[in-house]
Structures are given as C-alpha cells and as structure tokens.
Amino acid sequence: MRGLSRSSLAEVEERFNAVAGSADLGALSDELFAIADLLDREHGLRRALSDPSRSAEAKAGTVRALLAGKVGEAALATTEAAASARWSRAGDLADVLERLGVVAAAAEAESQGTIDEVEDELFRFGRVVAANPDLRRALADAAAPAEGKRRLLSDLLGGKAATASVRLISQVAVHPRGRSLEAGLEEFSQLVAQQRQRFVAVVRSAVELTDQQKARLATWLRTSYGRDVHLNVEVDPRVLGGFSVRIGDEIIDTTIVGRIEEVRRRLAG
C-alpha cells in the first residue's frame, strides 16, 4: 500500500486477525475507514497517537477514551494496536487502518462467495471512470459533498455490484487521500487479491479473449509466478495484435506495437 514498517504492520495485522473472526466484517470495514478518515482530518490527534515519545499504554488509553462505545470491540482493539506500534511517519497510522478496512471488506466478500465479483467490479469501474470524463470529474471533485458522491455511486452501483465493491469504491471516491480514483481502485484491487494470496494481471488485447485463451494464459502465469493469477482483461484496438500483461511493475509485451518499440529502442541504443 504505502511504505509501512513491516514489523509494525505484522504486529497490527496479528491483532486484527485475532479479533476479526468474531466481528461483523462489513461493520468493521466501515469503522476502520471512518477512524482512518478521522485521523486524516484531526492532525493533532494523529500526531498524539503517532508520537514516539509517548508510551504505547498512553496512546492506547487515548484511543479507548475517544472510541470506546462508539465503535465495535474489533475496531477498537485494532486501532489500539495500531496506535501502540511505532511508525516512520504520522500518516502511517491512518494508512494501516485503511488497509485493514480493505482487508475486512475482502474477507466479508470471501465469506459471501463474491470475492471474484469484487475483483472484477473494481477493475471494470476503473475503466468506466477512465472512459467517462464527466463521471470522473464528479467523483474527483474535492469540493463536492461526500453525501452527493455516495448518492451518485448508489445510483450507479446499487443492486448491480457486490456490497464490498460499493463499500471500497465509495471509500476511494469520498476519501481519496491524495490518490487519483484509478490509483486508489488499483491499490484496493491488489489488497483484495492478496486476501486470496494471488496476483492481479492486467491484460491488454486487441480483441476479447475466449474463456479457453484466458484459462491457458492464467495457467501459464500461475506456473511462471508460482501463485494463482486473477486476469483483468482490457480490450484495446491500439494493441494491433498479440497482448500485453502487467503484474505489478513487470510487463510481458507480445504486441506488434511493443515489438516495434523494442526495435526502435535497440536502434536508438
């Protein structure tokens, strides 16, 4: 997600995993998002909870005094653990809580058997936004009321997308936290995929791939990377034959355009 301390993140994730099993995962996700948003708004509180000179017990006490009775025990325990950990910067505290809010939403989707739909819907909505400048402006407008964005998303997605998809898309649109809408959706998509311990591959092809072609490509990528790979396929006529695959920062390019560019680079070198 962002440059979080691995040891601190592992400590908080361990506490989260211990308390999430008995929690309402949808409510837990909403509460962790709300706490992250609170920390983004209240700079003094964020500094107090991330101040390395304060003891872990003092910071956990501040969290409990502020949130006890207002959020569930799972969200409270997770936030106490996050405040007690040591982070390299004050913003890390909100980052880890948002991250675990995404994980809770993904776990809810997995328990409901809708996690595949969530992965697909996050990708497809990102493409819809990219192709619709008016929609992108409406959702990216920092001056637009949050409730208006939620109503717009409810009109667009209500009854058509998984509950977790609506929850995650709404979080990115209403609380971008310095990210573009597309970057936020991709970030959340990667976290959802991690819930299944698999990679996400963005495939660009000039034509729609058949189910058989997708299955062969997924099998080849699973063999190459040693992990299941979820395919997000984007049809792009500019590809001019072949396809390209992006997994994280790695790109496999078999397109005609890619080959031409490679020849140009070699000639220029």
pLDDT at residue 202 in the model: 81
Structure tokens at 206: 């000039």
Q: Which helix (H) or strand (E) segment is 250 a member of? A: strand 250-253
Q: In sequence order, which ranges of the chain are alpha helices (DSSP H)?
A: 6-20, 25-41, 43-50, 56-67, 73-84, 92-111, 115-131, 133-140, 146-157, 163-174, 181-195, 211-225, 256-268
Mean pLDDT, range 147-174, rounded to an integer = 95
Tracing tokens 């099993």 back to the chain, one arrives at: 21
**Which structure tokens are listed for 209?**
């791939």
Helix (H) or strand (E) segment spanning residue 200:
strand 199-205
Helix (H, G, I), strand (E, B) or coil at 261: helix
pLDDT value at 260 more than 60: no
Of 36-45, 117-126, 207-216, the range with the lowest mean pLDDT is 207-216
Instruction: Provide mean pLDDT across the span 135-143.
Output: 93
d(CA 106, CA 35): 18
Tell me the per-residue pLDDT of 180-214, one tens digit each, with 9 for 90 and over. Answer: 999 999 999 989 988 776 667 788 888 888 889 88
Q: Note the pLDDT of residue 6.
A: 81
Q: Contact 246/232 with Cβ under 8 angstroms?
A: no
Q: Give percent of the chain above pLDDT 70.
A: 91
Rounded CA separation 199/122 (Å): 15
Mean pLDDT computed over 77-88: 95
Alpha-carbon distance of 176 to 173, in angstroms, equals: 6
Name the nearest CA neighbour of 188 among 98, 80, 107, 262: 98
Cβ-proximal residues to 92 (8 Å cutoff; 6+ apart), any chain: 2, 3, 4, 5, 8, 50
Q: Are strands 229-235 and 199-205 parallel, antiparallel or unpaired?
A: parallel
Lowest-confidence segment of 93-102, 168-177, 205-214 by average pLDDT: 205-214
Q: What does the mean pLDDT of the chain come to?
A: 88
Is the predicted pLDDT of residue 257 greater than 70, yes or no? Answer: no
